[in-house]
Amino acid sequence: MSQNKLWGGRFQEPTDEFVERFTASITFDQRFYKQDIRGSLAHAAMLEKAGILNASELADIQRGLQEIEAEIEAGDFAWSIGLEDVHMNIEAALTERIGITGKKLHTGRSRNDQVATDIRLWLRDEIDRIEQQCIRAQAGIVKLAQQEAETIMPGFTHLQTAQPVTFGHHLLAWYEMLKRDHSRLIDCRKRLNESPLGAAALAGTTYPIQRELTSDMLGFDRPTANSLDSVSDRDFAIEFCAAAALCLTHLSRMSEELVIWTSAQFNFIKLPDRFCTGSSIMPQKKNPDVPELIRGKTGRMNGHLIALLTLMKSQPLAYNKDNQEDKEPLFDAVDTLHDCLRAFADMVPAIQANKDEMRNAALKGFATATDLADYLVVKGMPFRDAHEVVGKAVAFGVDEQRDLSEMSLAELQRFSDIIGADVFDVLTLEGSVAARDHLGGTAPNQVRAATERALTHLQSFSA
């Protein structure tokens, strides 16, 4: 006999209690309720336009769904595992509230296109929220870069001192990473913004539906083109997780630098206490927990991407129950990315640069050695010969424990007689960074120009 399931007509025994719990998704997909109701309101309005519902029935459905939404938001709605998911919970509540008209709402659609529509609507809304945090993080980086346009620090390769750069220039490298991440979010949103509603179970429907109408009502750019693909496609979820994983990779790299820079061995920056914690046993400790957690959450994000890729890799068309497993990784990916970007956006503007520590560090490791080689080349020496000359000068400096800028002119001329007194213009840290005066260079005026371009770019998204 029927078990009072909305789909239970052909079944002769009730669902096993464990199977009911095992297959239910209501514990996590209830967060779709706004999007599910929004989609149902659009579908009902279209059914009325098509002559499938009359005006009175549409009004009853609209009133009932609005009341249910208010009840959910007030925390008074009773979710039932027996009704499996958010869609059937809301439909059952609607039927109980307005009677037989509630049963007409599902005409011309399936849970397959319903969930495909809901998840696109939900992810679109979430991308809009995440985008705002991404813009905040970028703006915080750029404004700090403005403040530190002339602050000199060592630039590293292999985590060894390479050449002097400005702190502002280093920060703008972070901005460029997030700028690409932002563009990927925009691209992902654009591709997902097609409406599957009307694809029904897999083949479309025999009812005279108007897919363009519901697509427009829900703010989609267009309906999806193929009903089979419409209900089974989860590319948009995978693409979002890929973009999120790459963004977290960038945030992790930035966090690693913050962790290093706050250490006593570097002491390049200070993080306010509110972004740190202490030790239960060592009273002197101030641990950079926020960047450490962001760094750690990157692994979880990578796992969500792999989970979704694996979920979809062997599925035949069209919808399969496997697809229920798309939601928990996607939900957590959205929450994690949003919160990590928010944490970064809050934290970066509060960073304080220890300028003297940065400058002193840049004086170590012969950071201006390349500048000396370039100086010799300008004087007419082939670069390979200049490289060898400077290498010998550095070796002398290592033995003497003195930087190139600390050597006398006579000492430098022991390695090449074409070195003149003007060499000290390029051996200073300030001279070195100022010489990189081109687009993308570390010169302070280039940093300031880059921050102005960045702020103009960001303002275009808030206009």
User: In whole angstroms, how far apart are CA 266 and each of 191, 326, 353?
Assistant: 44, 43, 12
Task: State the CB neighbour count (10 A cutoff) for residue 173.
Answer: 14
- Amino acid of residue 390: V
- Map residue 223 onto helix, strand or coil: strand
Query: Rounded to an integer, what is the distance from CA 431 to the centroid of its chain?
Result: 38
Please tell me the distance from the alpha carbon of residue 326 to that of residue 304, in angstroms, as a whole number.
9
Is 280 labeled as catalytic in the residue annotation? no
Label residue 168 exposed, middle or buried (CB < 10 Å: 0-12, 13-18, 19+).
buried
- For the chain, the straight-line distance linking the first and the last C-alpha, in angstroms and rounded, comes to 60
Please tell me the distance from the alpha carbon of residue 72 to that of residue 79, in angstroms, as a whole number.
9
Label residue 99 exposed, middle or buried (CB < 10 Å: 0-12, 13-18, 19+).
exposed
Please tell me the distance from the alpha carbon of residue 248 to that of residue 425, in angstroms, as a whole number.
41
Is 457 labeled as catalytic in the residue annotation? no
Of 5, 24, 13, 21, which Cα lies nearest the Cα of 324?
Answer: 24
Please tell me the distance from the alpha carbon of residue 425 to that of residue 234, in angstroms, as a whole number.
59
Q: Which of 169, 230, 279, 280 is catalytic?
A: 279
Please tell me the distance from the alpha carbon of residue 49 to that of residue 193, in angstroms, as a whole number.
23
Label residue 43 exposed, middle or buried (CB < 10 Å: 0-12, 13-18, 19+).
buried
Q: Which of 158, 280, 460, 462 is catalytic?
A: 158
Please tell me the distance from the alpha carbon of residue 343 to that of residue 276, in angstroms, as a whole number.
12
**Structural contact between residues 100 and 44, judged by C-beta atoms closer than 8 angstroms:** no
- Return all residues near 189 (Cβ < 8 A) that are at least 6 apart: 124, 127, 128, 131
Of 450, 433, 453, 454, which Cα lies nearest the Cα of 152?
Answer: 433
The residues annotated as belonging to the active site are 158, 279
